[in-house]
Structure 1
């Protein structure tokens, strides 16, 4: 029973995390397929510990910043963002675009830090803490390229290819189309996409590799409007991107933490 209650509480937190404006009690109960009374008890418990609050005007329940604070505190204590930020800042300045760090939190890939290099005109920006779609983002495809075909496809099937409404017009619709992008990334040494993850955006990503295990533990990416981040610009940025990823791969404290976080395999539960 305790495990079941914990699972329900975690499902509730994940649901609210995807709805920053909050949700009514009935919607929460229906979505999680639990009794309204059970949903209310979970919300009351979370509210008692200041993880959830109910909007007095709308009656909707929403997460407080306490979970975000815990996550940021944890990352701060690990030193991951502190170590990576100077590298991100340099890459953003050199590219003139958005530079991001994603870390492997197996079987997920999550963006945790960024630096914006665009000073004028169009800017591409993304939400930190969000899970990367493996089949459409340069970040995801770079990670898939570091894995065996079997493991890569297992991870993609877990997440799904994504519906046309969720992706860009060039998003791969089949496994065969996805593997073309993955194999291109393997041959090139970094991933490159245009209008696959977000309409009107292009991106490139290179893996950060654990020095002992050789597994990708995260990656660095550069993203911007496709009208500006062209193939010619990609080729100019690629050496800086690869050098930045290599720099982070060689940092012991950085690799030690991310290696433990992302060193699991597809056969583990």
Structure 2
């Protein structure tokens, strides 16, 4: 449960909640999850509907986001030229691994998916649910990111993300999770064996700049029938190499933007 104060913060909390849900939500559920009165939430939803950010389903009366947020997000991402710079490197890893490659960026204390390339040419193809925010405690990407932080910060962030609530995305125990982060930090890559989704294995590495700042993660994921234990080291080596390339390319987006702005 999250304590929401100002009106602006409440509106953004509503938008964020709807963005994290795969389906439309009823008024009472939104109010309950945000610990707000129904009347206050109803007023905010009416305003958001008038502004075009939210729409109400005519049959059920449930609320969901419109595509406006997604469109603005795509415009912003396009303007940064981040995917333009990184896409060829991701495509190379997808071709090498013949599995799904995804990249996430650090946003505050979370990770957000921004790019993916499907490398599987035939057979089973892992196609994950389209959720922007990365689950930190159970995904390889989340653990790769958390391994770059101090132990105290990593555990705090993982717990705040729902990693210790007893749900399906929870860590087994704080002690075991700490040991896993230590191992991840020492070898440079993380693995999730059916931790995020049944039958799926993922291997990820942090994308780090020269000064040591972690800006994102990159991963390879696929069915456990293909990503067998014999392939883990080879895949991890390719992921680490790709993370290194992305770390070198990351600053180029700013140079690209500066070049476009020059007369």
| TM-score band w.r.t. shorter chain | 0.7 to 0.9
- Of 224, 230, 233, 1:232 maps to 230
Q: TM-score, normalising length from structure 2?
A: 0.87
The C-alpha deviation readout for 1:105-150, integer Å capped at 9, x for no partner, is: 1211111110011122222222455222222111111112222212
Asked if 1:16 is matched to 2:18, the reply is: yes
Separation in 1, partners of 2:240, 2:31: 47
Q: Is the 1:23–1:60 Cα contact (8 Å) retained in structure 2?
A: yes
Q: Is the 1:112–1:129 Cα contact (8 Å) retained in structure 2?
A: no
Separation in 2, partners of 1:131, 1:44: 26
- Of 62, 74, 81, 1:72 maps to 74
Q: CA 1:180/1:27 → structure 2, altered by over 3 Å: closer, same or farther?
A: closer
Number of residues paired by the alignment?
251
Separation in 2, partners of 1:5, 1:144: 32
Asked if 1:175 is matched to 2:174, the reply is: yes
Q: Which moved more, 1:51-60 or 1:34-43?
A: 34-43
Alpha-carbon shift at residue 256 of structure 1 (Å)? 6.1
Alpha-carbon shift at residue 57 of structure 1 (Å)? 2.2
User: Which structure 2 residues correspond to residues 146-157 of structure 1 after superposition, within 5 A?
Assistant: 146-157=148-159
Q: Is the 1:109–1:140 Cα contact (8 Å) retained in structure 2?
A: yes
- SS at the partner of 1:84? helix
Residue 187 of structure 1: aligned partner: 186
Alpha-carbon shift at residue 31 of structure 1 (Å)? 3.8
The C-alpha deviation readout for 1:73-116, integer Å capped at 9, x for no partner, is: 11111111121211111111110111000111121111111001
Residue 137 of structure 1: aligned partner: 139
- SS at the partner of 1:166? coil
Gaps of 5+ in 1: 258-269
Q: TM-score, normalising length from structure 1?
A: 0.85
Asked if 1:46 is matched to 2:43, the reply is: no
Q: Is the 1:111–1:128 Cα contact (8 Å) retained in structure 2?
A: no
Separation in 1, partners of 2:161, 2:77: 25
Q: CA 1:76/1:98 → structure 2, altered by over 3 Å: closer, same or farther?
A: same
Separation in 1, partners of 2:179, 2:33: 37
Q: CA 1:223/1:44 → structure 2, altered by over 3 Å: closer, same or farther?
A: same
Q: Is the 1:210–1:255 Cα contact (8 Å) retained in structure 2?
A: no
Alpha-carbon shift at residue 26 of structure 1 (Å)? 3.7
User: Which structure 2 residues correspond to residues 1-269 of structure 1 after superposition, within 5 A?
Assistant: 4-128=6-130, 130-162=132-164, 165-167=167-169, 172-211=171-210, 213-253=211-251
